[in-house]
Chains A and B, each alone.
Chain A
Amino acid sequence: MAEGDRAAPVAARGVRRSTIAIWQVAVGVSALALWETLVSARLLDPFFVSQPTEIARRVAAWSGDGTIWLHLATTLEESLLGLLIGSALGIALGFWFGRSPALAMVFDPYIKMLNAVPRIVLAPLFLLWFGLGIWSKVALAVTLVFFIMFFSTYQGVRDADRVLIDNVRMLGASQRQLVRHVLVPSALTWIFSSLQASLGFAMVGAVVGEYLGSTRGLGYVISQAEGTFDTTGVFAGMTVLAIVVVLISAAVSRLERWLLAWKQ
Chain B
Amino acid sequence: MTALEFDRVSRQFTAPDGREYRALDDISFTVPAGAFVAVVGPSGCGKSTLLNLAAGLLLPSAGVVRGQDGTLTGLNRHATYMFQQDALLPWKTARDNVALGLILAGASRADARAHADRWLARVGLAAFGSHYPSQLSGGMRKRAAMAQHWIIDRSLLLMDEPFSALDVHTRLSMEGELLALWESADASGAAKKTVVFVTHDLEEAIALADEVVVLSAGPAARVVARHPVPLGRPRDLMELRTAPAFVDLHRALWVVLREEVKRSQRAAEPTRG
A-B complex is real: yes
**What is A's interface to B at a CB cutoff of 8 Å?**
1-2, 4, 163-164, 166-174, 177, 181-182, 185, 188-189, 260-264
Contact of B81 (CB < 8 Å), options: A2, A170, A185, A260: A170
10 example contacts (A-B, Cβ-Cβ < 8 A) are as follows: A4-B135, A166-B57, A168-B89, A169-B75, A181-B100, A189-B91, A260-B91, A262-B93, A262-B134, A264-B134
Contact of B152 (CB < 8 Å), options: A4, A172, A181, A188: A172
Name the distance in Å between B139's Cβ and chain A's nearest Cβ.
Answer: 10
User: In the complex, are the beta carbons of B79 and A170 less than 8 A apart?
Assistant: yes
Name the distance in Å between A218's Cβ and chain B's nearest Cβ.
Answer: 38
Chain A positions within 8 Å of B131 at CB level: 2
Interface of A is mostly: helix
Interface of B is mostly: loop
User: In the complex, are the beta carbons of A263 and B152 less than 8 A apart?
Assistant: no
Chain B positions within 8 Å of A261 at CB level: 132
Contact of A2 (CB < 8 Å), options: B101, B135, B148: B135
Closest 4 CB pairs of A and B: A167-B87, A262-B132, A171-B101, A170-B81
* Known A167-B87, A171-B100: A2·B136 in contact at CB below 8 Å: yes
Chain A positions within 8 Å of B57 at CB level: 166, 169-170
Question: Given A164-B89, A185-B91, 16 more contacts at CB 8 Å?
Answer: A1-B135, A163-B83, A163-B87, A164-B87, A168-B89, A169-B57, A170-B55, A170-B79, A171-B80, A171-B100, A171-B104, A172-B77, A172-B152, A185-B89, A262-B134, A263-B90
A260 to B90, CA, bound (A): 10
A264 to B87, CA, bound (A): 18
Q: Does B15 contact A (CB under 8 A)?
A: no
For B, the interface residue count at a CB cutoff of 8 angstroms equals 32
Chain B positions within 8 Å of A168 at CB level: 89, 100, 104
Minimum CB distance partner of B83 in chain A: A163
Name the distance in Å between A199's Cβ and chain B's nearest Cβ.
Answer: 23
0/1 interface trace, chain B 91-127, chain A, CB 8 Å (1 if under): 1110000001100110000000000000000000000
Chain A positions within 8 Å of B86 at CB level: 163
A136 to B83, CA, bound (A): 52
Q: Does B140 contact A (CB under 8 A)?
A: yes
Contact of A171 (CB < 8 Å), options: B85, B93, B140, B152: B152
Chain A positions within 8 Å of B136 at CB level: 2
User: In the complex, are the beta carbons of B83 and A167 less than 8 A apart?
Assistant: yes
Q: Does B254 contact A (CB under 8 A)?
A: no
Q: Does B14 contact A (CB under 8 A)?
A: no
Minimum CB distance partner of A182 in chain B: B89
Contact of B75 (CB < 8 Å), options: A2, A170, A260: A170
A1 to B148, CA, bound (A): 22
Chain B positions within 8 Å of A171 at CB level: 80, 100-101, 104, 148-149, 152
* Known A177-B104, A262-B132: A170·B91 in contact at CB below 8 Å: no
Minimum CB distance partner of B127 in chain A: A2
Chain A positions within 8 Å of B152 at CB level: 171-172
Q: Does B242 contact A (CB under 8 A)?
A: no
A174 to B105, CA, bound (A): 9
Chain B positions within 8 Å of A172 at CB level: 77, 101, 104-105, 152
A163 to B92, CA, bound (A): 16
Q: Does B246 contact A (CB under 8 A)?
A: no
Minimum CB distance partner of A263 in chain B: B134
Chain A positions within 8 Å of B81 at CB level: 166-167, 170
Chain A positions within 8 Å of B188 at CB level: none
User: In the complex, are the beta carbons of B89 and A2 less than 8 A apart?
Assistant: no
Name the distance in Å between A16's Cβ and chain B's nearest Cβ.
Answer: 23
Q: Does B271 contact A (CB under 8 A)?
A: no
User: In the complex, are the beta carbons of A181 and B89 less than 8 A apart?
Assistant: yes
Name the distance in Å between B102's Cβ and chain A's nearest Cβ.
Answer: 9
Tell me which of A167, A170, A173, A188 has the highest count of chain B C-beta atoms within 10 A of its own C-beta.
Answer: A170
Name the distance in Å between B155's Cβ and chain A's nearest Cβ.
Answer: 14
0/1 interface trace, chain B 135-154, chain A, CB 8 Å (1 if under): 11100100000001100100
User: In the complex, are the beta carbons of B104 and A173 less than 8 A apart?
Assistant: yes
Chain A positions within 8 Å of B182 at CB level: none
